[in-house]
Amino acid sequence: MASVADAKPSPMMAQESPVQRFFRATEIDTRLLGMIGALILIWLGFQVVGQWLTGDGVFLTPRNLWNLSVQTSAIAIMSTGMVLIIVMRHIDLSVGSMLSFIGVVTGVAQAYWLAPTLGSDHPVIWIIAVVIALALGAALGAFNGFLVAYAGIPSFIVTLGGLIVYNGAAWWVIRGETVAPMDSRFELIGGTPRAAWIGATASWALGAVACLAILVGILSNRAARARFRFPQRPIWAELFLGIVGCALSLGAVFVVNSYAWPPKVAEAYANEHNIQIPPEGLNFSHGFAIPVLIALGVGIVMTFIATRTRFGRYVYAIGGNPEAAELAGVNTRKITLLMFMLMGMLVAISACITAGRLDAASNSLGQFDELYVIAATVIGGTSLAGGVGTIYGAMLGALVMQSLQSGMTLLNFDSAVKDVIVGSVLVFAVWIDQLYRRRKT
Amino acid sequence: MRNAQTRAFGAALLGLTSALLLSASAMPADAAGKKIAASWKTFQEERWKTDDAAIKKVIEAAGDTYISADAQGSAAKQASDIEALIAQKVDVILVVAYDSDAILPSIKAANDAGVKMIAYDVQFEDPNSLYITFDNIGVGRLMAQEVLKAKPAGNYAFIKGDKGDPNATFLFSGITEVLKPAMDAGKIKNVCETFTDGWKPDNAQKNMEQCLTKQNNKVDAVVSENDGMASGVVAALKAQGMDGQVPVSGQDGDLAAINRVALGTQTVSIWKDSRVLGKAAAEAAIAIADGKKIADLPGVAKFNKGKKGVEMNSILLPPDPITKNNLGDVIDTGWISKDKACAGVKPGTVKGCG
């Protein structure tokens, strides 16, 4: 532990407890840690209560955790954008209806337009469908942004109007019908068919890449700090972060790989490929599902945008103090418009996942999603006063919300009780966050 | 009852229309010129526009005026809609109540003003009004019967509709009525039973995934209370390779659901043709506007199975189950094109698809 000397000594250090020293040295966000702690408590709670009620806890099985990862994806993706919108002191209430509108347009385009003209299962159908979704999302988002930034209408009003308008528009497109089925490749985006599970080898490879990336990140961070003569984290702290990061990514791989293909799916696969089914049964691993990979990818990209680009810094600057940002020469209008456009595109991605997963599109998809997205963002520590919020926090918030929902479904909770609990958790989480902030300042 | 269900759709339509035509043709000469209105709870849902069109057609054909108001999913808006309709001196108002209790003061106001009210599809409990709907308890019974036929014993999962909608409970009482003997005998086990917020398919999918996880896939049949939720159930089963092997019910005659019935991934969709309901209601409204007593309308019976047990005059239309066997009949009514109904079906496997 001699390497603590790496950090610049300060008079404060003498009075620090070991715990405080640990957090300062590793530079871990204690709020993040608190959220992870809460998540673990929720998970263990459901497992224990399940075991106690039914004698067989299923919450912490690979299968349920895998389900949870897929069920969280769509909300998590939208929450990454909502963080930045809220950081800029705006709000987007239209995401749910927009998802529904984009979903039905994409569904109609595939089922009623592309499939009949190109022939069903043509390999470009899904690409065109996704492009349509993204373009539509960008256009609708940009329109929201234009009204907010250039027409000066409060975002609450613009997107409240959008909530109603897109809801009507979705209805107008299909008159309440359900469009099905989706293109077979498009369906993969949702993660339902077996081809959407990347399997054991690819998952391990991804885990290894993630682990490597963490190590490279730590090293390059050290190099950068050395270059600018910033104080370094002590070696033990770096080691700790590297080991925990790697353990988490490889642990996640282990979990998703422990969930074997359902017997019926494996059987069908064996029949198609003329494989003899051994007496002990076939054992294929699920690995990560495509929507989860998309969500992780979006999380990484959005974190990069938020923390490493000029755009991201402007977003936080505007949120911190819009007048100051404006006076400092930031084109706040343009940034606002771009941010809403980005939000629209994230909604489009979620729309593809939701419609693909259900293998159908209907105008009830996405209804009330705005509430879950905003709740996830707020649980994740984003301040509605603006200026503060992290992407990973929001994604974790989405996971917390979904964990509560699925856990209670597993335990056969009455759905009225579910609503009461989910709502209470939202308010409780924000209260804890307020206490934390007040103590810190 | 069983014979009634299996009869052809054409016959059902014919019988119904002729009964109601009778009342329509008995109209006195001064019939035309009445004002008939409809107050819809929302046009956001699946079907109300179809009903609206069917009603409009019949009323305008009779030479009466039709006024339509959309409450946009708000009990308050609906109250003011009805107020406005009373002020316009309409003769009859068809109401799809957004909230069956909150609507009662409006119904009373209308009664006081001499406007006759019809509870259309959603019941409000007022002894002076007519309640016209498909037999919802019957829909539940039909669902359960079809699933029971396909799987007489085993683990049953129940995906119920929104907890706030009385229809979800009506349906479930019909379902349990049919399954009770087998449940009491221990042949059928209720392994999952959940309400689905907003009747949303994606919620039903999540609930079904949780059910399968909890049961480790030991689920032999699923009773889903509508077609939208059935699409979620089938998607959840598909992820486990169990689609087409587990009977699944639904209702509404959704086009996608009819296609699933043809493909074999859904067992039955109970079809309540809203055009038939709209037509029947419009014809009843015309007769009432012309001064006929509600109790004297053809097909009227007493109904008191609502929450408060108020006895009302009601017309309950029989719904029809769509299964692989009678798919052709649905195509014949023009509700769905053969292309849509039979998309992806192997030729020769389903009668009616060819």
Q: What angle do CA A205, A207, A208 make, to 5 degrees?
A: 65
Min Cα distance A100 → chain B (Å) is: 12
Is the Cβ of B43 closer than 8 Å to some Cβ of chain A? yes
Strand partners, B302: B313
Q: Are B86 and B111 in contact (CB under 8 A)?
A: no
Question: How many structural domains are present in chain B?
Answer: 2
Beta strand B268-271 pairing with B301-303: unpaired
Residue B66 lies in a domain: yes
Give the up-direction half-sphere exposure of residue A367: CA atoms within 13 A in the CB hemisphere: 19
Is A265 in Cβ contact with B163 (below 8 Å)? no
Helix (H) or strand (E) holding A12: none
Mark whether B67 and B146 lie in a shared domain.
no
pLDDT at B309: 86
Q: What angle do CA A160, A162, A163 make, to 5 degrees?
A: 65
For residue B238, list chain A residues with Cβ-Cβ distance below 8 A. 192-193, 359
pTM higher than 0.80: no
Who's near B18: CB < 8 A, 6+ residues apart? none
Is B344 in Cβ contact with A357 (below 8 Å)? no
Percent of chain A residues topping a pLDDT of 70: 96
C-alpha span between B334 and B86 (Å, rounded) = 37
Residue B348 lies in a domain: no
Q: Which of A171, A360, A406 sits opposite B201 (nearest CB)?
A: A360
Nearest CA in chain A to B161: A415
Residue B85 lies in a domain: yes
Q: Which of B206, B227, B241 sits opposite A406 (nearest CB)?
A: B206
Mark whether B264 and B164 lie in a shared domain.
yes
Who's near B227: CB < 8 A, 6+ residues apart? A178, B250, B251, B252, B253, B254, B256, B257, B266, B269
pLDDT at A13: 53
pLDDT over 70 at A7, yes or no: no
C-alpha span between B63 and A375 (Å, rounded) = 53
Mark whether B105 and B76 lie in a shared domain.
yes
Mark whether B266 and B278 lie in a shared domain.
no
Mark whether B191 and B335 lie in a shared domain.
yes
A99-108, A166-175, B262-271, B345-354: segment of lowest average pLDDT: B345-354
Is B45 in Cβ contact with A63 (below 8 Å)? no
Residue B186 lies in a domain: yes
pLDDT at A440: 67
Is A409 in Cβ contact with B235 (below 8 Å)? no
Min Cα distance B273 → chain A (Å) is: 14
pLDDT at B32: 58
Alpha carbon separation from B5 to A49, B8, B143, B321, B352 (Å, rounded): 46, 8, 12, 7, 18
Mark whether B225 and B310 lie in a shared domain.
no
Min Cα distance A341 → chain B (Å) is: 26
> Which of B123-158 are b and which e, b meaning 16 or more Cβ less than 10 Å from the residue's Cβ?
bbbbeebbbbbbbbbbbbbbbbbbbbebbeebbbbb
pLDDT over 70 at A148, yes or no: yes
Q: Which of residues 197-226 of B touch A (CB under 8 A)?
A: 197-202, 205-207, 209-211, 213-214, 217
For residue B239, list chain A residues with Cβ-Cβ distance below 8 A. 192-193, 262
Q: Which of A58, A354, A414 sits opposite B202 (nearest CB)?
A: A354
Residue B353 lies in a domain: no
Q: Which of residues 120-179 of B touch A (CB under 8 A)?
A: 163
User: For the purposes of burial, counting CB atoms within 10 Å of the CB of B26, is it exposed (0-12), middle (13-18) or buried (19 or more)?
Assistant: exposed
Residue B83 lies in a domain: yes
Who's near B131: CB < 8 A, 6+ residues apart? B118, B119, B123, B303, B312, B313, B314, B315
pLDDT over 70 at A178, yes or no: yes
| CATH value at residue B333 | 3.40.50.2300
**Confidence class of residue A67 from pLDDT cuts 50, 70 and 90?**
very high
Beta strand B116-120 pairing with B130-134: parallel
For residue B259, list chain A residues with Cβ-Cβ distance below 8 A. 180-181
Q: Which of A179, A262, A409 sits opposite B210 (nearest CB)?
A: A409
Mark whether B264 and B327 lie in a shared domain.
yes
C-alpha span between B186 and B165 (Å, rounded) = 30
Mark whether B80 and B205 lie in a shared domain.
no
Is A263 in Cβ contact with B45 (below 8 Å)? no
Mark whether B242 and B170 lie in a shared domain.
yes
C-alpha span between A115 and A108 (Å, rounded) = 10
Residue (of B65, B66, B58) closest to B25 by Cα position: B58
A29-33, A279-283, A315-319, B103-107: segment of lowest average pLDDT: A279-283
Nearest CA in chain A to B259: A180
Summarize the confidence of residues A199-208 as an average pLDDT: 94
Mark whether B110 and B16 lie in a shared domain.
yes
Is A364 in Cβ contact with B256 (below 8 Å)? no
Is B163 in Cβ contact with A64 (below 8 Å)? no
Min Cα distance A54 → chain B (Å) is: 10
Mean pLDDT over the full length of chain A:
90
Who's near B129: CB < 8 A, 6+ residues apart? B107, B111, B116, B117, B118, B119, B294, B312, B313
For residue B47, list chain A residues with Cβ-Cβ distance below 8 A. 176
Segments forming the whole domain that contains residue B302: 2-128+273-318
For residue A63, list chain B residues with Cβ-Cβ distance below 8 A. 213
Q: Could you list the pLDDT tens digit for every one of the 354 residues in chain B?
A: 344 444 444 444 444 444 444 444 444 444 458 899 999 988 766 578 888 999 999 999 999 999 999 888 888 999 999 999 999 999 999 999 988 889 999 999 999 999 999 999 888 999 999 999 988 788 999 999 999 999 999 999 999 998 878 888 889 999 999 999 999 999 999 999 999 988 899 999 999 999 999 999 999 999 999 999 999 999 999 999 999 999 999 998 888 999 999 999 999 999 988 888 999 999 999 999 999 999 889 889 898 877 788 899 999 998 889 999 989 888 988 888 888 899 888 888 888 887
Mark whether B35 and B116 lie in a shared domain.
yes
Phi, psi for B298 (deg, rounded to 5): -65, 140
Q: What is the DSSP letter of A15?
A: G
Q: Dump strand ranges (E) for A84-176.
A: none
Residue B354 lies in a domain: no
Nearest CA in chain B to A416: B163
Coil/strand/helix, residue A343: helix
Q: Are A100 and A364 in contact (CB under 8 A)?
A: yes
Is the Cβ of B242 closer than 8 Å to some Cβ of chain A? yes
Q: Which of A192, A194, A358 sits opposite B201 (nearest CB)?
A: A358
pLDDT at B46: 59
Cis peptide before A181 (omega within 30 of 0): yes
Amino acid at A274: N
Q: In what order do the strands lie in the sheet with B268-271?
A: B249-251, B268-271, B320-322
Alpha carbon separation from B285 to A303, B27, B62, B117 (Å, rounded): 61, 12, 11, 9
Q: Are B202 and A358 in contact (CB under 8 A)?
A: yes
Phi, psi for B339 (deg, rounded to 5): -60, -45
Is the Cβ of B74 closer than 8 Å to some Cβ of chain A? no
Query: ipTM score here?
Result: 0.81
Is A359 in Cβ contact with B213 (below 8 Å)? no
Terminal-residue alpha carbon distance, chain B: 30
Give pLDDT tens digits for A278-311. 777 778 899 999 999 999 999 999 999 999 999 9
Mark whether B49 and B186 lie in a shared domain.
no
Residue B351 lies in a domain: no
Summarize the confidence of residues A249-272 as an average pLDDT: 90
